[in-house]
């Protein structure tokens, strides 16, 4: 199976930027509607639309119909729906010193747009405006959040929430596939009770909306029903849904109510999750 490097790649480029492949990687890091719906979308921005590094205007659903499920569904033989598997493009992190020198504030949006030569009335500008507004919005109940504009700040926030000995995970896969139905294979592994989930946002350079909430995460081996593609998916289970909007699609889909049971979904391929590093974790795939 082709796989990205198991260590962080920080490649200097002619534009003095750092690039890291995403979408099929796993590496360890050790570091010294209504008000309800509006609030929910602030906490889970990618539930309403996907963010791709090269398409600032993408509005593809991140979590397709059928992709919510219960924690007890993570059993061998269970069939689940996963979104289309696609190799994500390399995204670009600015070096920390440069990222800190660039304004990142709604009040300075005109200056930011000018710096990146983006028209004020463009769809790209509107996407950037929404990203800045989300990053500046109040935190939700039980949430710690941060918008990271560099690899260093991304790591610093994760360390502040989980400690120094941490592991970064994303969904891994053999190849791109159009297949969406998968069967859970043997070897489901719980990654822990604590996690920091980071969502890729629409911006000219890499910006991740990271937040720590009440979640459990799992590494789940899957096999595509039609073409046999193997996937090691990251699953996030939200243990406290009491503050989700009562009409959220997950409750309708699963015929349940908020605050009653954990609700799970697959982590989109352009998202990452930080978890505590435990000894004995093995890479089976």
In whole angstroms, give the CA distance from residue 157 to residue 32.
12
- Read off the pLDDT of residues 144-171 as tens digits, 9 standing for 90 and up: 999 999 999 999 999 999 999 999 998 8
* Furthest-apart CA atoms within the chain: distance in Å: 54
- Read off the pLDDT of residues 92-109 as tens digits, 9 standing for 90 and up: 789 999 999 999 999 999
In whole angstroms, give the CA distance from residue 32 to residue 119.
41
Average pLDDT over residues 49-71: 46
Residue 216 has pLDDT above 70, yes or no: yes
Higher pLDDT, 23 or 249: 249
User: How distant is the alpha carbon of residue 21 from its chain centre?
Assistant: 14
Reading phi first (left if > 0) and then psi (alpha if -120 to 50, else beta), residue 141 is in beta
Q: Which residue is listed with tokens 């989109």? A: 268
Average pLDDT over residues 51-62: 32
Average pLDDT over residues 249-267: 90
Confidence bin at 88 (pLDDT 50/70/90)? low
In whole angstroms, give the CA distance from residue 164 to residue 87.
30
Q: Where are the domains of the chain?
A: 24-276
Q: What is the pLDDT of residue 227?
A: 84
In whole angstroms, give the CA distance from residue 179 to residue 200.
24
Confidence bin at 283 (pLDDT 50/70/90)? very low
- Read off the pLDDT of residues 93-149 as tens digits, 9 standing for 90 and up: 899 999 999 999 999 999 999 999 999 999 999 999 999 999 999 887 778 999 999
Higher pLDDT, 105 or 283: 105
Residue 273 has pLDDT above 90, yes or no: yes
Residue 208 has pLDDT above 80, yes or no: yes
pTM, whole model, 2 decimals? 0.71
Secondary structure of 6-17 in HEC code, one letter for each residue: CCCCCCCCCCCC
Q: What is the pLDDT of residue 47?
A: 31
Mean pLDDT, the chain, as a whole number? 75
Q: Which residue is listed with tokens 């069967």? A: 183
Burial (CB count within 10 angstroms: exposed 0-12, middle 13-18, buried 19+), residue 267:
buried
């Amino acid at each position: 199976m082709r796989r990205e490097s198991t260590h962080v790649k920080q490649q200097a480029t002619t534009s003095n930027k750092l690039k890291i492949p995403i979408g099929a990687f796993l590496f360890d890091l050790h570091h010294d509607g209504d008000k309800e719906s509006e609030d929910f979308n602030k906490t889970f921005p990618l539930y309403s639309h996907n963010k791709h590094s090269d398409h600032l205007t993408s509005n593809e659903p991140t979590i397709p119909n059928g992709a919510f499920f219960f924690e007890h569904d993570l059993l061998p033989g269970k069939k689940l729906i996963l979104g289309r598997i696609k190799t994500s493009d390399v995204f670009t992190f600015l070096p920390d010193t440069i990222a800190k020198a660039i304004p990142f504030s709604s009040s300075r949006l005109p200056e930011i747009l000018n710096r990146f030569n983006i028209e004020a009335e463009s769809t790209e500008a509107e996407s950037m405006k929404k990203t800045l507004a989300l990053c500046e919005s109040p935190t939700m109940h039980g949430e710690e959040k941060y918008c990271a504009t560099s690899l260093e700040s991304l790591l610093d926030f994760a360390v502040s929430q989980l400690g120094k000995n941490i592991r970064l995970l994303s969904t891994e896969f053999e190849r791109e596939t159009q297949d969406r139905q998968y069967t859970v294979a043997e070897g489901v592994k719980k990654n822990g009770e604590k996690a920091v989930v980071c969502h890729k946002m629409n911006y000219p350079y890499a910006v991740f909306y990271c937040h720590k909430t009440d979640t459990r995460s799992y590494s789940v081996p899957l096999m595509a029903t039609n073409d046999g593609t193997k996937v090691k998916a990251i699953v996030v289970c939200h243990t406290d849904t009491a503050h989700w909007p009562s009409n959220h699609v997950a409750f309708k889909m699963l015929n349940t109510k908020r605050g009653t049971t954990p609700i799970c979904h697959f982590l989109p391929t352009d998202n990452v999750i930080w978890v505590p590093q435990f000894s004995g974790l093995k890479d089976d795939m």
